Structure 1
Amino acid sequence: MHIQTKQEILEVLSMPAPAFWAAVAPAAQKVCRDQFGDTLLVTAMLAYSNICKNQCLYCGMRAGSPIPRYRMSPAEILPLTQRAREAGLGRMFPLSGDDGNYGFDNLLTLVEGLRTQGFSIALGAGELEPDQYRALHSAGVEEYVLKFEMSHPDSFNQLNPSTTFQKRMEAAQLIKEAGMKLASGNIVDWPGQTLDELADDILLMKELDISWAPNIPYLPALHTPLASRGGPGSRLLNNKEIALVRLLLPGIKITAQQPGEDLTKGLADEQGNLDAIACGANLLFCDLLPDAKADAFRPIDRRNVSGLAHCQEVARRSGLTLDLGG
Structure 2
Amino acid sequence: MIIEGKKEVLEVLRMPEAQFEAEVAPEAAKLRDERKDGSLLAMAMLGYDNICKNQCLYCGMRASNSGVKRYRLAPEDVIASARMASENGFHHIFLVSGEDPKYGFDNLLHIVEAIHGMGMHQSLACGEYSLEQYRELKSAGAEEYVMKFEMSDEETFNRLNPSTNFKKRMSAIESVKASGMRLASGNIVGFPGQGLDQLAEDILLMKKLDISWAPVIPYMPAQNTPLAAEGGVGDLLTNRKEIALLRLMMPDVNITAQQPGKDLRNGLADPEGNRDAILSGANVLFCDLLPDALAKNFRVIDNRNVSGTEHLYQIAELTGLALSF
TM-score band by shorter chain is over 0.9
SS in structure 1 opposite 2:81?
helix
- Tell me which amino acid in the other structure corresponds to 2:51: I
Alignment of 1:71-150 (within 5 A): 71-150=72-151
Alignment of 1:195-274 (within 5 A): 195-274=196-275
Q: TM-score normalised to the size of structure 2? A: 0.99
Q: Does 1:182 align with 2:183?
A: yes
- Would you say the 8 A contact 2:134–2:176 is kept in 1? yes
- Tell me which amino acid in the other structure corresponds to 2:234: G
Measure the CA separation in 2 of the matches of 1:152 and 1:4: 21
RMSD (Å) for aligned C-alpha atoms: 0.7
1:11-67 deviation per Cα after TM superposition (whole angstroms, max 9, x unaligned): 110111111111110011111111012100011100000011111000000011011
Shift of 1:295: 0.4
SS in structure 2 opposite 1:296?
coil
- Would you say the 8 A contact 2:83–2:118 is kept in 1? yes
Q: Does 1:65 align with 2:49?
A: no
1:157-207 deviation per Cα after TM superposition (whole angstroms, max 9, x unaligned): 110011111111111110011110000000000000010000000000000
Shift of 1:307: 2.2
SS in structure 2 opposite 1:314?
helix
The residue number in structure 1 matching 2:279 is 278
Measure the CA separation in 2 of the matches of 1:84 and 1:148: 29
The residue number in structure 2 matching 1:40 is 40
Measure the CA separation in 2 of the matches of 1:149 and 1:305: 22
Shift of 1:74: 1.2
Shift of 1:306: 2.6
SS in structure 2 opposite 1:18?
helix
1:90-117 deviation per Cα after TM superposition (whole angstroms, max 9, x unaligned): 0010100111111001101111111112
% identical equivalent positions: 57
- Would you say the 8 A contact 2:91–2:121 is kept in 1? yes
1:262-315 deviation per Cα after TM superposition (whole angstroms, max 9, x unaligned): 100000001100000000000000110111100000011111123211111100
Identify unmatched segments of 5+ residues in structure 2: none
The residue number in structure 1 matching 2:288 is 287
Measure the CA separation in 1 of the matches of 2:175 and 2:78: 28
SS in structure 2 opposite 1:163?
coil
Measure the CA separation in 2 of the matches of 1:218 and 1:241: 13
Q: Does 1:6 align with 2:6?
A: yes
Measure the CA separation in 2 of the matches of 1:277 and 1:4: 23
Q: Where do 4+ consecutive residues of structure 1 move more than 6 Å?
A: none
Measure the CA separation in 2 of the matches of 1:307 and 1:63: 28
SS in structure 2 opposite 1:47?
strand
Identify unmatched segments of 5+ residues in structure 1: none
Measure the CA separation in 2 of the matches of 1:23 and 1:215: 22
Measure the CA separation in 1 of the matches of 2:307 and 2:71: 19
Q: TM-score normalised to the size of structure 1? A: 0.98
SS in structure 2 opposite 1:148?
coil
Measure the CA separation in 1 of the matches of 2:116 and 2:313: 25
The residue number in structure 2 matching 1:156 is 157
- Would you say the 8 A contact 2:292–2:307 is kept in 1? no
The residue number in structure 2 matching 1:313 is 314
Measure the CA separation in 2 of the matches of 1:150 and 1:143: 21
Measure the CA separation in 2 of the matches of 1:289 and 1:118: 21
- Tell me which amino acid in the other structure corresponds to 1:6: K
